Amino acid sequence: MTFRAGEWKTIAGAGFGAALLGLLTGTAVADDALKLRELSPSGADVCFGRVYDAAHLKAHPKQKVARIFFYYGHDPVSRPNEEPTANADTSYNGFLTTTVRGAKAPQWAGGWCNHESEDGTSGPIRCGMDCDRTMASLKVDDKGRLIVTDISADLYLDAGSEEELGKAEYDRQALGSEDDNFRLDPMPAATCKAEFARIDPIDPALGPPLRERLKPDQAFCYGRDYDAAHLASHPDQLTQSIRVFRGPVELASYASGGDIANWPDGADIAVSVTTRQKSGKVTQTYSCQGEADQWRCAASSKMSDFSCDIAQKEIFLKRGANGTMMLANPNSSLAIVDLCSKAADGKTKSDDKVYRLVPMPQSACAP
């Protein structure tokens, strides 16, 4: 879903991307949207929510969720900053967002809400997600409040994340043991829309998203050269010079097979690095896709100096202030070391994790 290492703000939401189940059932689900009259007697979009005060949270130390909203209707999330228009999944009709204690922004999940009976007209209401997961079960009480149960602790995490992250990190990212059985009050639809708008706001100080700033047919070059003073103050940094670019080769590759409606999905970029130990630069190609407020770029065998399977080596691009570009390298994904070697396994231990790159003339990125 997102960059995992913690230095990089992302949105871990089960709603990103259309899973196979959604592709198979999305049309039918969309046609049935807004037909759960218990939730919406009039068929209009409806909102339920609750914000817990300090006294409640103090009395429930194992509850992480401080704010929770459920929206039933048309997509209130819209497209995140870097997600292509074509990636929008309109099949969901139930949307859940929560903000845990101390978090600056909510997380969210989208799913398909229907009765569990065979005819789909009676019985409990279940909101499912991809991979046959449950987002939540719903029931409206006699006062019109929404009872939300069966919320899994790993709602916003990938399948198998407990083993992947380790118990301590999983417990940190997962919901708490008391994050279930919520009672939400009816609220104006605008209240939910405002809450979902907090998920991925476009920061005016950062300017337009990369998806808008960098065009499909546009070459670009960003980079940075580190001087002796900087390197002396960062003894663990190997990178002496770095470039991120799209040139004639990358443009031609996209022109021959890219889909502009899906931009930036399928866009190739090249990253060149010169380190303290090497006199020559090493270039690695990555294939990118828009995800939340970043580009997630996996190492590619195209025009690469390495021939092993490096598909899991990833970097992340985000827009920075004043026209800069931020590059995150959480998992030794730059060609600082041979990406095929054992030294490339695991986390980057040096200062070569996050770079603030400035626009440069295309000639600065020439081979």
Residue 279 is part of a domain; what is its CATH number? 2.40.128.20
Residue 105 placed within a domain: yes
Q: Are residues 335 and 304 in the same domain?
A: yes
DSSP string, 44-55: S-EEEEEE--HH
Cβ distance 110 to 92 under 8 Å? yes
Residue 9 placed within a domain: no
Last residue in a domain, options 201, 233, 250: 201
**Type of residue at 165:** L
Q: Are residues 242 and 278 in the same domain?
A: yes
HSE-up of residue 85 (Cα within 13 Å, Cβ side): 4
Residue 14 placed within a domain: no
Q: Give the span between the Cα atoms of 238 and 106, in whole angstroms.
A: 36
Q: Are residues 185 and 216 in the same domain?
A: no
Q: For residue 252, give its domain range.
A: 210-365
Please tell me the total count of domains within the chain. 2
Last residue in a domain, options 182, 201, 220: 201
Q: Are residues 230 and 89 in the same domain?
A: no
Return the pLDDT at 352.
87
Q: Are residues 361 and 220 in the same domain?
A: yes
Return the pLDDT at 30.
41
In sequence order, the 6+-apart residues with CB closer than 8 A to the CB of 237 are: 226, 230, 231, 350, 351, 352
Tokens of residue 345, six digits: 């396994």
Cβ distance 167 to 206 under 8 Å? no
Q: Are residues 93 and 59 in the same domain?
A: yes
**DSSP secondary-structure letter at 169?**
H
Residue 287 placed within a domain: yes
Return the pLDDT at 60.
95
> SS3 letters for 175-207?
CCCCCCCEEEEEECHHHHHHHHCCCCCCCHHHC
Q: Are residues 182 and 220 in the same domain?
A: no
Residue 128 placed within a domain: yes
Residue 74 placed within a domain: yes
In sequence order, the 6+-apart residues with CB closer than 8 A to the CB of 168 are: none
Q: Are residues 196 and 277 in the same domain?
A: no
**What SS3 state is found at 173?**
helix
Taking the chain (367 residues) in runs of 10, the rounded mean pLDDT of each run is 36 32 36 70 94 96 97 85 78 92 92 82 85 92 96 87 86 93 97 91 86 95 96 91 95 93 94 83 90 88 62 86 91 72 60 93 91
Last residue in a domain, options 201, 225, 259: 201
Return the pLDDT at 31.
43
Residue 13 placed within a domain: no
3-state helix, strand, coil in the chain (%, to 5): 20, 30, 50
Q: Are residues 275 and 311 in the same domain?
A: yes
HSE-up of residue 123 (Cα within 13 Å, Cβ side): 11
Q: Are residues 238 and 287 in the same domain?
A: yes
Q: Are residues 196 and 214 in the same domain?
A: no
Return the pLDDT at 309.
61
Residue 215 placed within a domain: yes
Return the pLDDT at 305.
58
Q: Are residues 187 and 312 in the same domain?
A: no
